[in-house]
């Protein structure tokens, strides 16, 4: 039976954050990120609302309204300021991560709270089954154990179009983690031979992600390869977007409550 276990892991390799950092650079207005713009506007709106409601509503109703105003201003402005290309790229990665997580959940036999590559140390706890061998290669590379990853990679089957594609994709993955040049030509050729529509679409998303990772570590445009695929996904990203959206909503509401308390305390000194 598969059991996860805690282990002492070193600090994440900079490449683990490469794509996220590239997205942040792409969405920022100079040194200012969209979240900061939304936060600032939300604080101003909540402060003005608190001033107008000071003699009308008492505590804690006024603070609740302040928090609501903060959230109502911050969230839409955050999304409005964020470039459309970055949102589209996020949608593609949301779908791909969800698709891969479901795949590995089925192989492992239990629900995963995060994409396995986010916790590469779990590689030593994986059962040694045929279905999990590709994941083992992926996690070994992400853990910095690239020699082991290459050795395992050589053992992967290549009988079907999907297996051939996955082998090419993992070859590129290991090369990227090893800071070696890669060639996605074979990945593209192998993806074209996949007959299953969902797997072929997942393969295209993996190619786009590989292109984006390369761009992220070479100073190129990491957003464009993913954004270009967004329309082909249709409504698929919505299936996996709920958890992310719910997390953002909860975060914004908590920030709103904190902001309302801060405004109340500050106003108490001013008034």
Same domain, 139 and 256: no
Is the confidence at residue 11, as pLDDT, over 60? no
Q: Does residue 2 lie in a domain region?
A: no
Per-residue pLDDT band at 4 (split at 50, 70, 90): very low
Choose from 49-53, 71-75, 130-134 the range with maximum mean pLDDT: 130-134
More confident residue, 148 or 263: 148
Same domain, 126 and 224: yes
Give the C-alpha distances (Å, rounded to integers) separating 232 from 95, 226, 237.
12, 11, 11
Q: Give the span between the Cα atoms of 123 and 146, in whole angstroms.
A: 13
Same domain, 44 and 172: no
Q: Does residue 25 lie in a domain region?
A: no
Report the domain count for the chain. Answer: 2
Question: Among residues of the chain, what percentage have pLDDT more than 90?
Answer: 46
Sign for the pseudo-dihedral over CA of 142, 144, 146, 148: negative
Q: Which domain holds residue 125?
A: 91-236
Q: What is the mean pLDDT of residues 181-186?
A: 88
Same domain, 136 and 209: yes
Q: Does residue 104 lie in a domain region?
A: yes
Same domain, 53 and 158: no
pLDDT at 166: 97
Same domain, 232 and 125: yes
Q: pLDDT tens-digit profile of 59-113?
A: 778 888 888 888 888 877 777 777 889 989 999 999 999 999 999 999 988 888 7
Same domain, 63 and 112: no
Same domain, 105 and 224: yes
């Amino acid at each position: 039976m598969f059991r996860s276990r805690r282990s002492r892991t070193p600090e994440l390799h900079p490449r683990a954050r490469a794509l996220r950092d590239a997205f942040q650079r792409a969405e920022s207005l100079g040194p200012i990120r969209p979240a900061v713009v939304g936060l600032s506007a939300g604080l101003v709106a909540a402060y003005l609302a608190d001033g107008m409601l000071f003699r009308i509503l008492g505590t804690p109703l006024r603070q609740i309204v302040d928090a609501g105003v903060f959230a109502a201003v911050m969230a839409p402005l955050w999304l409005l300021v964020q470039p459309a290309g970055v949102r589209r790229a996020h949608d593609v990665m949301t779908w791909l991560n969800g698709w891969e997580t479901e795949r590995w959940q089925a192989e492992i036999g239990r629900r995963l709270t995060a994409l396995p590559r986010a916790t590469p140390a779990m590689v030593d706890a994986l059962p040694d089954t045929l279905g999990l061998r590709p994941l083992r290669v992926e996690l070994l590379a992400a853990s910095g154990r690239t020699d082991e990853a290459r050795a395992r990679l050589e053992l992967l089957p290549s009988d079907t179009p999907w297996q051939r594609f996955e082998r090419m994709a993992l070859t590129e993955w290991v090369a990227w983690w090893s800071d070696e040049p890669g060639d996605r030509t074979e990945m593209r050729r192998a993806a074209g031979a996949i007959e299953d529509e969902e797997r072929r679409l997942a393969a295209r998303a993996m190619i786009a992600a590989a292109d984006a990772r390369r761009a992220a570590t070479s100073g190129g445009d990491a957003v464009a390869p993913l954004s270009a695929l967004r329309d082909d996904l249709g409504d698929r990203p919505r299936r996996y977007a709920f958890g992310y959206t719910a997390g953002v909503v909860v975060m914004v509401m908590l920030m709103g409550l904190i902001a309302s308390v801060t405004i109340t305390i500050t106003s108490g000194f001013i008034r």
